[in-house]
Amino acid sequence: MPVSSDDAVVVIGAGMAGLAAAIRLASAGYRVVVCEAHAEGGGKMRRVEVGGQDFDAGPTVLAMKWVFEALFAAAGRQLDDELTLFPSSVIARHYWRGGACLDLHADQTESMRAIADFAGRREADGYRRFAADSRRVYEVLKGSFIDASRPNPVSLSRRIGRPGDLFAIKPFATLWSALGGYFADIRLRQLFARYATYCGSSPYLSPATLMLVAHVEQEGVWMIKGGIRALAARLEKLAVSLGVEFRYGDAVTEIAVDPSRRAVSAILTRSGRQIPARQVIYNGDVAALPRLLGLASGNQKGEGQRSLSAVVSCRLAEPQGVPLAHHTVFFSDDYQGEFDAIFSRGQPPADPTVYLCAQDRDAAGYLAHGGNGPERIYALMNMPANGDRHRLDESEVSTCLKSMDMRLAMNGLTLSNHPEPPNITTPDRFAGLYPGTGGALYGVASHGWMASFARPGSQGPVPGLYLAGGSVHPGPGLPMAAISGRLAAERLMADRPLTRRSRPAAITGGMSTEQATADVSPSP
């Protein structure tokens, strides 16, 4: 039924999806209150400090720029006016044992040349075919799945339409097996199989549709002046300018349901505050939702379906040996063993693949500060998401850090020790930051052909409750989370449209809210 603009929508969580939902709703004239458990917004776009220097300690890659352009445009702004973005000429640098190196470039021709030099013309031709097929998978799924409300297998088939397109997305093959049709060189299969980890999964168990990530990166990987945290800060500032109210440091402990209406009625916070709310957007992991609704506790999906966690080290160091790019990957010798350890045995891999983000370097690896002094180095190894039942002790953390350094050294890099202690985040720490997850950073793992349909859509389990974030459709990652926030906001707007609203000045070219009103109709 229609609601007044005085009836606030409550958004739980100021992560990417919560910020996107709040901006979309406020742009349409809804009054929005965002409740965030932590002292600042951003969610997984978190920051830590080491030696007086700020680190991006969460996502380090921005892709699918069009998603953020649309988000700013909804509020009458231009992304490029709000943030300074630089396209990455080198998507990532990759090293194997002994220092064998391959750069993947934004320019596909350059990547083909690099692959030919690295592994031969036959492998370069395999890359050409892989790039074409990944593009087709992306084009088939962009409108029918990624940027659309959650489908089921039947509705997705109907949206796709042509049988040839349905076959082209390779729904029943694993990513690893599909890559064997393009590359004989195991190193190239490792490189492109790594895209499964972007959604916290094993390439040996996840569907080949994830090859679309290759085309997402080919369309553009961007660096932001000020880092990913600058994006979170700018989105929060935009939301405030639209009238969104943020309440920090007071975690939501319950989503109350009116038994007579069987619908959301309020939220309760740790401090004892009760906020009436007939419409709530929950931007948290769905694993924690039963507890908030008073139904159950823990992860109902079970640990076996959790996505990857990680050990993340942020430290000041001086690299020696092979040159770094902004994004650099150091591959293990036993890729399958790495994922078997994590997903089959629930153990840290003895020989992990290590991802480094050299945060003071541009895409090609040039230092912003001229090369004097230590650099900000972010290092990540994949881990099982069992942080709610196992806390890594000091010796276990030390073993993980040593295994990371050993892999770096075998691939040609050493990092000098710095007197300032690093900031280390482990699965148990992630479990504390993101309740209900056990430290899983991507919701459930995308394993099996039905994985794409396992994530819930924006409609919550009770009327008035809507879901957003990396654990719901369309999946994890900054652009996907932003899409989920938009989908949740638009589902809410369709269910409870405003009859009349005040249009924000940012959209009306400076008219006051009293001067401009308009009807709101649900977005398509």
Average confidence (pLDDT) over 139-160 = 68
Assign 167 a pLDDT band (cuts: 50, 70, 90).
very low
Residue 305 CB neighbour total at 10 angstroms: 20
Predicted confidence band of residue 299 (pLDDT cuts 50, 70, 90): very low
Query: Which of 97-111, 160-174, 351-365, 394-408 shows the lowest mean pLDDT across its residues?
Result: 160-174
Q: Which amino acid is at 473?
A: H
Contacting residues for 372 by C-beta, under 8 A, at least 6 apart? none
Q: Is-contact 95 411, C-beta < 8 A?
A: yes
| Structure-token pair, residue 166 | 């349905």
So what's the architecture of 9-72+227-301+446-518 in CATH? 3-Layer(bba) Sandwich (3.50)
Q: What is the pLDDT of residues 23-52, one digit of tens each?
A: 999 999 999 999 999 999 999 999 999 999
Mean pLDDT along residues 57-65: 95
Closest CA to 346 of 310, 385, 380, 316: 385
Give mean pLDDT, residues 65-74: 96
Closest CA to 178 of 157, 158, 206: 206
Mean pLDDT confidence for 381-393: 96
DSSP 8-state secondary structure symbol assigned to residue 150? P
Whether residue 396 is predicted with pLDDT greater than 90 in this model: the reply is: yes
List pLDDT tens digits, range 429-471.
Answer: 999 999 999 999 999 999 987 777 778 999 999 999 999 999 9
In our burial notation (b when 16+ CB lie closer than 10 A, e otherwise), range 213-251 reads bbbbbbebbbbbeebbbbbbbbbbebbeebbbebbeeee
Average pLDDT, the chain: 88
DSSP count for the chain of H helices, then E strands: 17, 24
Residue 4 pLDDT: 39
Residue pair 468/286 in contact (Cβ under 8 Å)? The answer is no
Q: How far apart are CA 383 and CA 426, in angstroms?
A: 9
Confidence of residue 160 (pLDDT cuts 50, 70, 90): low
Q: Which residues pair with 266 in a beta bridge?
A: 256, 276
Give the domain ranges of the chain.
Answer: 9-72+227-301+446-518, 107-219, 303-433
> Does residue 304 register a pLDDT over 70?
no
At 88 the three-state DSSP class reads coil
The count of other CB atoms within 10 Å of the CB of residue 4 is 11
Q: How confident is the model at residue 368 (pLDDT cuts 50, 70, 90)?
A: confident
CB neighbour list of residue 132: distance below 8 Å, 6 or more residues apart: none
Question: What tens digit of pLDDT does each residue of 483-523 get?
Answer: 999 999 999 999 989 865 444 433 333 323 322 223 322 23
* The two three-digit tokens of residue 312, written as one number: 């993340």
Looking at the predicted structure, is the pLDDT value of residue 402 above 50?
A: yes
Residue 152 is predicted with a pLDDT of 59
Question: CA dihedral in degrees (111, 112, 115, 119; nearest 10)?
Answer: 180
Separation between Cα atoms, residue 502 and residue 514, nearest integer Å: 7
CA 453, chain centre distance (Å): 18
Structure tokens at 487: 């989908």
The three-state secondary structure class of 480 is helix
At 518, give phi and psi (nearest 5°). -160, 155
| CB-CB contact of 21 with 283 (8 Å) | yes
pTM over 0.75: yes
pLDDT for position 503 = 42
Residues 342, 351: Cα–Cα separation, whole Å: 11
**298 pLDDT more than 90:** no
pLDDT per position as a tens digit, 173-220: 899 999 999 999 999 999 999 999 999 999 999 999 999 999 999 999
The one-letter code for the residue type at 277 is: A
Tell me 352's DSSP state. -
Query: Is the torsion defined by CA of 31, 14, 222, 443 positive or negative?
Result: negative
Does the N-terminal peptide bond of residue 276 adopt cis geometry, omega within 30 degrees of 0? no
